[in-house]
Structure 1
Amino acid sequence: MLARQRQDEILAQVAAHGAVKVAGLCAALGVSDMTIRRDLKDLEDRGLVERVHGGVTLPRATSKDEPGFYAKSTRALDAKRAIAKTAATLVRPDTCIGISGGTTTHTFASELLDVPGLTVVTNSLPVADIFNDRGRDDQTILLTGGQRTPSMALVGPLTVVTLERLHLDVLFLGTHGVHVNAGLTCPNLLEAQANQAMVAASRRVVVLADHTKWGVTALASTLRLSDVDVLVTDSGLDDSAREILADNVHDLIVAPDAAGSAPDGLEHSVASSAVKEGTDDRA
């Protein structure tokens, strides 16, 4: 097999699995460790993979990488639905809530259509559309102004000025990345500023973040983990990440999967880190 053919096969395996080990590639391709390592160096030099201890992964997105709303809406669908259903139980009738831009918050909004007496403040055009399409008289939807981002959120000075005049009971906040040191991050400076204004206007902040957001750092920090009142994630988040989050946010809620339970290992996290599975009745 020629070097280019081997490298094409390596790329195919990395694309399929997200990461592959050197030993597995040697066995699959029937070549030596040294040959595989030369191939991996070549692929890394071309920016097609990122080498890690014992193997390679897909290259990390840059800190300014900002996929559009519809591209993100196809990712981690089961996780987003689980998070949305669990987070919806934190919403009380006759309250004023904020909902930021994002595909997880968009999924969450669809779970609130039957909650009576809601006032919803959002800078997300898709979120506003969900409520407006239902057209219920007992719900009030306030859409901030501003310029539109790739995530279909309205941002800029007009958005910030509007939010500075409002007072929200609870904010449900989406995020591009969650990192133990950087906190919540966003690739768009103006959207990070709008999110900060929503946080400042809110009594409590509930973050909705699926497991794929863990360890991701984008250009601008939005919020420190210690300032997060509740973080709702899905059962795909590994135990070590749960331990870290439970030690840094006030409350961590792991949404059950489609079968109604979390994977093996959650019991240890609950015992050691006060991780909450299911709902929190204090919102």
Structure 2
Amino acid sequence: MIAFNYLKNHTSYRILLTGGEFSPITEEFIGEVAERSFESLNVDISFAATNGIFDNNVTTAQFIEGNIQNAALNAAKIKCIVADYSKLNKSDVYTFRKLTDFDYLITDNHLSEQDFNHYSKYLTILKEPKNDTDNHDEPIH
């Protein structure tokens, strides 16, 4: 709902919500009603989050969360997975998609060169540019 509230309050975009059962933990709509809502949609770009990416596997904690993400991805022309560097080389319980099914990995600027080279063989990586003022040893307030 964070993304929804931001878009609602700061843009003039047309926003569609799927309906279905609302999960307060993940702040998404899940279940059959939500999944079926994607059947008649033509989506230009779909963004999915993940709990972990290990080699060619994109994972999540719950089967039902993976199902709704797959429904959205299946309706999309361009598929993006969004994960910061801490999600790479990690796996969760359920693999909901192969990394090669995505067009882009969108990540932060902490991605190591080794991980960049490894995961680049599966898809195109869009990495946040480095900022000269970044100091990663100090806590963020």
The code of the aligned residue for 2:127 comes to V
- Could you say which structure has the greater relative contact order, defined with CA pairs below 8 angstroms and 6 or more residues apart? 2
Q: Superposition RMSD on alpha carbons, in Å?
A: 1.8
> Does 2:133 match 1:254?
no
Aligned-pair CA distance for 1:231: 0.9
Report the structure number with the largest CA radius of gyration. 1
Structure having the larger proportion of residues in strand: 2
> Does 2:54 match 1:179?
yes
Q: Is the partner of 2:59 in helix, strand or coil?
A: strand
Which of 127, 131, 139 is the aligned partner of 2:3? 127
Structure 2: how far apart are the matches of 1:195 and 1:187? 12
Fraction of identical pairs, as percent: 22
Q: Please say if residues 63 and 96 of structure 2, whose CA atoms lie closer than 8 Å, have aligned partners that are also in contact.
A: no
Which of 117, 126, 135 is the aligned partner of 1:243? 117
Q: Please say if residues 20 and 34 of structure 2, whose CA atoms lie closer than 8 Å, have aligned partners that are also in contact.
A: yes
* TM-score after normalising by structure 1: 0.44
Aligned-pair CA distance for 1:239: 1.9
Structure having the larger proportion of residues in helix: 1
Q: Which residue number corresponds to residue 219 of structure 1?
A: 93
Gaps of 5+ in 2: 135-141
Aligned-pair CA distance for 1:242: 1.1
Q: How many residues are matched?
A: 133
The code of the aligned residue for 2:76 comes to S
The code of the aligned residue for 1:152 comes to E
Deviations 1:54-77 (A, max 9, x none): xxxxxxxxxxxxxxxxxxxxxxxx
- After superposition, residues 143-182 of structure 1 pair within 5 angstroms as 143-149=17-23, 150-181=25-56
Structure 2: how far apart are the matches of 1:135 and 1:227? 30
